[in-house]
Amino acid sequence: MKYSSRRPLPDIQISRDFRGFPIDKVGVCDLSFPIVVLDRQNQRQQTVAKISMSVNLPRHLKGTHMSRFIEILSSHQSEITIHSIGPILHALKKRLDSKAAQIEMDFPFFITRAAPVSGFQAPMDYRCTFIGESNGGNDEFRLRVAVPVTTVCPCSKEISDYGAHNQRGLVVITVKPRRKNGCWQSIWIEELISIAERSASAPVYSLLKRPDERHVTMQAFDNPVFVEDVVRNAASLLAKDERINWFEVRAVNQESIHNHSAFAVVSSAQRVEDHVSPRIQQEEIHYGYENEKRNGNHFNEAHRTQGYENGLDAVLPERSNYARCRGGE
């Protein structure tokens, strides 16, 4: 049986509120929703996102219309890209008569990875987030990718008779693209994953056979990095990309021999090399040269694990400076 009414139903949300408090954000969250995102290798990929959407609410309105969030999202679910976030935000502001709108989509992104020696393939998942905000006439978009990696401690390798402690880490890269001809420039998720993996000691795989484990273990041992190195390595690569207007890199190492984790954060706004005095610049150059002369380059072709090519030697001189040993590490 269907229940209906011949008279118009009251719209309580648009009634007046007299308490005098505007609301910064009101909307829906923890919404699981199927979406389609762009895939560099396969063109498109179906996945399921956890979504949050909100708008601002003026002081005089009692509530917003929650169903309209789902309506607008449903009209765009066939393809969610950097270019569709803007129209979604604008539709939210128009349908809900708001000045500001926000959306956040967190989803797993899968890449089929081949093991480095055996070639066996298996899917690897990465957590990705689209973050969009429109306030007045200003639109902003951020892409965030979380990438698991392996790191080997340079200090442990330097001071130990044999071996070194290693651990799994997580590199989270967030970028804001520049606009070109009124549109945000496209940045592939896979590109940020590659930068994160190249900045660490070795990638993480979902499927490894014994020859692959040997390769990855030796690859990581040949490329030790502190958590500080990881964020600086990634920042050095991101800073060269003219499509990126702003970035932040956060790395966390789940320390294997400590009861704590180690982390580091760097953003494009923190780069102040133009303000470094000439004396400090010369000291940095001398420091790098002396350590290179004493320890050699851990990343030249003679010492690199066979088949490992990450292209960082020329642009990341810090990767060869592993003589420093900090107390407690």
What burial class does residue 163 get, using C-beta atoms within 10 Å of its C-beta: 0-12 exposed, 13-18 middle, 19+ buried? exposed
Q: Which domain holds residue 78?
A: 16-107
For residues 270 and 261, the answer to whether their CB atoms sit within 8 Å is no
Q: How confident is the model at residue 278 (pLDDT cuts 50, 70, 90)?
A: low
* Residue 130 within any structural domain of the chain: no
3-state DSSP assignment of residue 139 = strand
Residues 314 and 177 in one domain: yes
- The predicted pLDDT at position 283 comes to 65
**Counted domains in the chain:** 2
* Residue 149 within any structural domain of the chain: yes
Higher pLDDT among residues 282 and 142, named by residue: 142
Radius of gyration of the chain (CA): 25
* Residue 8 within any structural domain of the chain: no
In tens, the pLDDT along 228-260 reads 999 999 999 999 999 999 999 999 998 888 888
92: which 2 tokens?
């939210």
Average per-residue pLDDT for the chain = 84
Judge whether residue 151 has pLDDT over 70: yes
In tens, the pLDDT along 67-105 reads 999 999 998 877 788 888 999 999 999 999 899 999 999
The proportion of the chain whose per-residue pLDDT surpasses 90, expressed as a percent, equals: 56
- The predicted pLDDT at position 306 comes to 39
3-state DSSP assignment of residue 82 = coil
**Could you give phi then psi for residue 206, rounded to 5 degrees?**
-90, -25
Judge whether residue 164 has pLDDT over 70: yes
Reported as half-sphere exposure (CB side, CA atoms, 13 A), residue 119 has a value of 0
Q: How confident is the model at residue 107 (pLDDT cuts 50, 70, 90)?
A: very high
Judge whether residue 185 has pLDDT over 60: yes
Q: Model pTM greater than 0.85? A: no
* Residue 296 within any structural domain of the chain: yes
Number of H helices, E strands in the chain: 7, 11
Q: How confident is the model at residue 137 (pLDDT cuts 50, 70, 90)?
A: confident
Higher pLDDT among residues 289 and 270, named by residue: 270
**Could you give phi then psi for residue 43, rounded to 5 degrees?**
75, -55
- The predicted pLDDT at position 257 comes to 83
Residues 93 and 235 in one domain: no
Judge whether residue 23 has pLDDT over 70: yes
* Residue 1 within any structural domain of the chain: no
Residues 159 and 286 in one domain: yes
CATH of the domain at 49: 3.10.270.10
Q: How far apart are CA 268 and CA 97, in angstroms?
A: 35
Residues 93 and 218 in one domain: no
Residues 97 and 160 in one domain: no
- The predicted pLDDT at position 276 comes to 62
Q: How far apart are CA 305 and CA 104, in angstroms?
A: 40
* Residue 265 within any structural domain of the chain: yes
Beta strands in 178-243 (DSSP E): 179-180, 183-184, 202-203
